[in-house]
Amino acid sequence: MSSGRATDPQRTGPTEKCGVVGVSLEEREAALPTYYALYALQHRGQESAGIVSHDGFQQHEHVGMGLVGEAFTETDIDTLHGSSGVGHVRYPTAGSVDKSNAQPFTVSFEAGSLALSHNGNLVNTTALRSKLAEKGHAFSSDGDTEVIAHDLARNLLESDLVRAVKATMERLHGSYALTVMHDDTVMGIRDPEGNRPLIIGRIDGGNVIASESAAIDTLGGEVVRDVKPGELVVLAEDGSGFDAYQLLSPDRTANCFFEYVYFARPDSVIDGELVYETRRELGTKLWEEAGVETDVVMPVPDSGRAYASGYQEAAEDVEFAEGLMKNRYVGRTFIMPTQEARERAVRLKLNPIRSTVEDRSVTLIDDSIVRGTTSRQLVDLLRDAGAESVHVRIGAPPITAPCYMGIDMADRDELIAAENDAEGVESAIGADSLAYLSPEAVASAIGTEQSDLCMGCVTGDYPYDIEGETTDRDVTTPVLDR
Ligand code: AMP
């Protein structure tokens, strides 16, 4: 399968695969629960972490680089006063490891203060930014979050909160799951396609909105429900509850399938589906569609674990072995900026247990192939450890196109499946056989229609209007007439 395209249309600003949280409590400091929630969302971003709180009079802010544990000291948390707070963890994007992109993004204006945490990526940032610049807005970053902040601030000068948010949402095109604090009012906003997850929870003394339910669990809270696509949820300042406003109503959603496949924590529930069970079901379908008889089934830790468990259960008579041991102190291989560093990192990270593979046929299971680095290295590793044959089974379809919706995947020229069909990738990674899961099986395991998912990185057809790309639906692009 070839896209025939050598380069991608320009993406604007940094892409944002991130974690967001917003907390509103009655008479209790919000900073500590916000901090713990960010810990629970650490997998969604390791470049920077930040919290902005509000004490009813003013904002307090701390943003630091690195992991949550590195970005904050106890003293930092102590200075973040107030019972309202928003937090953010940001994913590293090559070339933009830089504090100016760290969030929450804050702005003060005549109608108060705003703090925004954004997960996702707008695709009409340039048009929106130049419209706002014409009106005299000056920008300090190339990011889309600042553009949302300015647009919202402008609308808040003219109307009440709900109308202002609606007017801004009508001008945004793309992916956004936001936690926003206007003075000490905390709210959650999810784009009309519901591209990224956002969920509401009840915790002791108040309410929380977070990217994933695992954050609510971590705070010992109860999940209330997901923020609906196109919805604004405003948390009560006294911690008592929330108001919800369905501001935009799309005909179809475009939930990111990759959240289920890779990004979200397996213990999170997104739009009613437990991610772990979805992954096990994907594994079961992988056996049904592309099962191969071997002596042993082995997951790539940790990404392939739930898949391998579902696959092996369906296969019945095959042994399951954790044959690759992980060095948990090595970070995600993906964050290494150069290919050479990435290759070394796989060896640093994983080591085979010889007795589980020696003279045996092995099925290696993972969620996805992006550049092909992980699979190629692991096939080599297993052969070196004496495997008789290595078959690779992947729980997602081939990734053939970039993500414009906020996942730092890779460009087309780096994606191994952009120019190679399954046979080509099989030989590039040196496997005895390779098979992927079909898009239909992915939709069915998630429990939805393919037409309600964003699978742009698989099909090359996006649910948004992106210059230089094709779309899979009738998209109405916002008219920026104001
Ligand atoms: P690659 O080695 O480039 O083929 O990447 C595939 C491996 O990275 C798989 O083990 C995935 O679990 C993981 N992966 C896939 N997408 C991403 C991403 N956007 N960020 C970090 N890791 C990823």
Residue 236 has pLDDT above 80, yes or no: yes
Sheet holding 199-203, edge to edge: 59-65, 48-54, 84-90, 18-25, 206-210, 199-203, 222-226
- Minimum CA distance residue for ligand 1 atom 19: 409
Q: Tokens for 223?
A: 């999940």
Residue 15 has pLDDT above 60, yes or no: no
Centre of ligand 1 from the C-alpha of residue 390, in Å: 19
Q: Tokens for 160?
A: 């009440």
% residues pLDDT > 90 (the chain) = 83
Residue 322 has pLDDT above 80, yes or no: yes
Strand 389-394 with 433-436, pairing: parallel
Sign of CA dihedral 395, 195, 416, 97: negative
330 pLDDT band, cuts 50/70/90, is confident
- Minimum CA distance residue for ligand 1 atom 13: 368
Centre of ligand 1 from the C-alpha of residue 369, in Å: 6
Q: Where are the alpha helices (DSSP H) in 196-338?
A: 213-218, 257-258, 275-290, 305-315
More confidently predicted of 93 and 294: 294
pLDDT of residue 287: 98
Q: How many CB atoms lie within 10 A of CB 96?
A: 17
Nearest ligand 1 atom to the CA of 409 is 19
Average pLDDT over residues 58-73: 96
Candidates 17, 334, 367: which one to mutate for ligand 1, based on the most atoms within 8 Å of Cβ?
Answer: 334
How much of the chain is helix, strand and coil, in % rounded to 5? 35, 25, 40
pLDDT of residue 343: 67
Residue 64 has pLDDT above 90, yes or no: yes
**pLDDT per residue as tens digits for the range 453-462:** 999 999 999 9
- Minimum CA distance residue for ligand 1 atom 11: 368
- Minimum CA distance residue for ligand 1 atom 12: 303
Centre of ligand 1 from the C-alpha of residue 65, in Å: 23
Average pLDDT over residues 247-261: 96
Nearest ligand 1 atom to the CA of 91 is 20
Centre of ligand 1 from the C-alpha of residue 303, in Å: 9
Nearest ligand 1 atom to the CA of 258 is 16
Establish whether 256 is a catalytic residue: no
**pLDDT per residue as tens digits for the range 120-138:** 999 999 999 999 999 999 9
CA dist 97 and 56 (Å) reads 33
Residue 305 has pLDDT above 80, yes or no: yes
- Minimum CA distance residue for ligand 1 atom 17: 409
Query: Which residue in the list 18, 256, 403, 457 is annotated as catalytic?
Result: 18
Residue 14 has pLDDT above 80, yes or no: no
**pLDDT per residue as tens digits for the range 470-480:** 999 989 889 88
Centre of ligand 1 from the C-alpha of residue 171, in Å: 33
pLDDT of residue 102: 82
Of 205, 168, 220, 161, which Cα lies nearest the Cα of 187? Answer: 161
CA dist 383 and 114 (Å) reads 55
Average pLDDT over residues 82-87: 98
Contact, 446 vs 453, CB < 8 A? yes
Q: Tokens for 55?
A: 């004490």
**pLDDT per residue as tens digits for the range 144-180:** 999 999 999 999 999 999 999 999 999 999 999 999 9
Candidates 91, 257, 262: which one to mutate for ligand 1, based on the most atoms within 8 Å of Cβ?
Answer: 262
Q: What domains can you pick out in the chain, each with its CATH number?
A: 19-250 (3.60.20.10), 273-459 (3.40.50.2020)
Q: What is the mean pLDDT of the chain?
A: 92
Candidates 332, 344, 348, 368: which one to mutate for ligand 1, based on the most atoms within 8 Å of Cβ?
Answer: 368
Candidates 43, 346, 374: which one to mutate for ligand 1, based on the most atoms within 8 Å of Cβ?
Answer: 374
Centre of ligand 1 from the C-alpha of residue 370, in Å: 6
pLDDT of residue 94: 41
pLDDT of residue 203: 98
Q: Where are the alpha helices (DSSP H) in 291-372?
A: 305-315, 339-349, 354-357
Centre of ligand 1 from the C-alpha of residue 368, in Å: 6
Nearest ligand 1 atom to the CA of 408 is 19
Which helix (H) or strand (E) segment is 443 a member of? helix 439-446
pLDDT of residue 81: 98
List residues near ligand 1 (CB under 6 A). Answer: 262, 300, 303, 332, 334, 366-375, 407-409
Nearest ligand 1 atom to the CA of 407 is 19
To which residue do tokens 């042993």 refer? 296
Residue 290 has pLDDT above 50, yes or no: yes
pLDDT of residue 331: 61
425 pLDDT band, cuts 50/70/90, is very high
Nearest ligand 1 atom to the CA of 304 is 12
- Minimum CA distance residue for ligand 1 atom 22: 334
Of 382, 381, 399, which Cα lies nearest the Cα of 436? Answer: 399
For 415-448, b/e burial (b = at least 16 CB within 10 A) is: bbbbbbebeebbebbebbbbbbbbbebbbebbeb
Centre of ligand 1 from the C-alpha of residue 177, in Å: 23
CA dist 20 and 403 (Å) reads 20
CA dist 327 and 308 (Å) reads 20
Centre of ligand 1 from the C-alpha of residue 457, in Å: 13
Contact, 90 vs 104, CB < 8 A? no
Candidates 367, 370, 381: which one to mutate for ligand 1, based on the most atoms within 8 Å of Cβ?
Answer: 370
Identity of the residue numbered 472: D
Nearest ligand 1 atom to the CA of 367 is 12
Which helix (H) or strand (E) segment is 146 a member of? helix 144-158
Q: How many CB atoms lie within 10 A of CB 244?
A: 15
- Minimum CA distance residue for ligand 1 atom 18: 409
Which helix (H) or strand (E) segment is 213 a member of? helix 213-218
